[in-house]
Amino acid sequence: MSAPLPKGWTLATLSNLISSGGLFTDGDWVESKDQDPAGEVRLIQLADVGDGAFRNRSSRFLRPDQAERLGCTFLQEGDVLVARMPDPLGRACIYPGSKLPAVTAVDVCIIRPSNDEIDNRWLMWFLNAPQFRREVSARQTGTTRKRISRSNLAALPLPVPTFAEQNHIVAAIEEHFSHLEAGLAGLERAKRKLHGLRMSALQAALEPSARDRNWPQFRLADVAEVQLGRQRSPKNHTGPNMLPYLRAANVTWAGVDLSDVKTMNFSPSELHTFRLEPGDLLLAEASGSASEVGKPAIWRGEMENCCFQNTLLRVRSKGPLPEFLLLVFRHAALTGRFGSAARGVGIHHLGAHALSDWLVHIPPPNEQQAIVEAAARTMSLIDALENMLGSGVTRVQTLRRAVLAAAFRGELIGADEPTRADKDMPSRSRRPWESALDRLTDSVEGAT
């Protein structure tokens, strides 16, 4: 924030912006014992504070007499809420108001300028700008639980334009963001279409052929070995034979993710039982979501002496191509068949016994190979489109940051252009993010 200020702007701190009748304070220390599900005062929490938007996710309450006893600060519509813990640290939103009176948890900071020269929405957007986030990050404290204190927030400098310019900046930001949100909605529609296309491709590869060609049907246990992973125990956190192991978090729809692999001690006999071999299939045995149960991936020997935990099931083929079984399992997972067969409340378990009894149609080896190759060609196209859409989502996030960064360098509007929404504003050269937005829109339209 050391760059020269735009003409007419002044440097201030958050404390400077609070006028008489305003507020700059932390939320309240409300413990579990102070809460009451039947209470009439809502407790706003960190989960409710989004990056520029109120998320409305929590459902905690306390009684009015408890709030009074604790000396809680009650929110007002339009208050700026700042998260003093990640993720991300320092994110801010506007409190939209509620039918119920509301207070906040201690790690949510409340800013109420009550100043005729400060636009609360301008302040909120500034707090979410990259420049401010860098300053927040430089002043964070803590090791495992990063946070920023209110006193550190109070000391951060803000380049403050005139009230009229604040209004114009907010209008310009929100106009740009409306275009970005439209682009993001298009990307989400395209992603849903790709999901349907993936399902259709799997169904075309498996179901019609199995029905029309009379492939023989087998219990999975007859054509593969099904093994539940090893249970983790605190006593195995240390030992002479610490080895890597995979858990459900390592199995994704895109394959095995090795970015966070844990270790534990395996005896020689346990290593023999639970060591993974190339071609092994790993399925999520349990999940809090029925749609994630049975999610499969194939192990290709990416790591030596790697084992697996009991949140995974291993399927080791006795004959069928592992890649063919992977298609079968993906189809069962994506169509919800595994989820429907799972048992349990809250956590859904597929179970080794249920999977062993799973019925599968197995074609001759040459047909398996042809199906795998044809499906691979189709899936590679779908994967490429999915990657493109993922890049589009990343670009939306990058463009949001670019718009905010430009806004608080005084570049989003000029002295002679109070707002982009003004149809009579003078012509000017296009900003870099506007050209990027055009390219994003074109890519969305092409994908959808």
- What pLDDT is stored for residue 2 in this prediction? 59
Cα separation of 74 and 103, whole Å? 5
Give pLDDT tens digits for 224-254.
999 999 998 888 888 899 999 999 999 998 8
- What pLDDT is stored for residue 207 in this prediction? 67
Cα separation of 398 and 440, whole Å? 11
The model's pTM is: 0.65
216-362, what's its fold?
Adenine-n6-DNA-methyltransferase TaqI; Chain A, domain 2 (3.90.220)
- What pLDDT is stored for residue 381 in this prediction? 84
> Which CATH number fits the domain 1-160, given the four candidates 3.40.640.10, 2.70.98.40, 3.90.220.20, 1.10.3720.10?
3.90.220.20
Cα separation of 199 and 382, whole Å? 11
Give pLDDT tens digits for 7-46.
889 999 998 999 988 999 999 999 999 999 999 999 999 9
Chain mean position to CA 423: 38
Structure tokens at 284: 């999520």
List of residues 6+ apart from 293 with CB closer than 8 A: 284, 285, 286, 287, 333, 338, 339, 342, 348, 349, 350
Same fold, 1-160 and 216-362: yes
Domain boundaries, the chain: 1-160, 216-362
Give pLDDT tens digits for 361-414.
999 999 899 999 988 888 888 888 888 888 888 888 899 999 999 998 888 875
pLDDT exceeds cutoff 60 at 422: no
User: Residue 208: pLDDT band by 50, 70, 90 thresholds?
Assistant: low
> 90 or 418: whose pLDDT is higher?
90
Cα separation of 142 and 400, whole Å? 28
pLDDT exceeds cutoff 60 at 180: yes
- What pLDDT is stored for residue 384 in this prediction? 84
Nearest to 306 by CA among 351, 271, 347: 271
Cα separation of 170 and 174, whole Å? 6
φ and ψ of 225, to 5 deg: -95, 125
User: Residue 97: pLDDT band by 50, 70, 90 thresholds?
Assistant: very high
- What pLDDT is stored for residue 441 in this prediction? 46
163 and 117 Cβ atoms separated by less than 8 Å: yes
Give mean pLDDT, residues 129-147.
89
Cα–Cα separations (whole angstroms), residue 111 to 42, 54, 74: 18, 15, 12
Give mean pLDDT, residues 329-336.
89
Phi-psi region of 214 (alpha: psi -120 to 50; beta: other; left: phi over 0): left
- What pLDDT is stored for residue 415 in this prediction? 43
128 and 51 Cβ atoms separated by less than 8 Å: yes
Element (H, E) at 405: helix 365-407
Mean pLDDT (the chain) is 86
Nearest to 357 by CA among 229, 228, 218: 218
Looking at the chain, the whole-number percentage of residues with pLDDT higher than 70 is 90
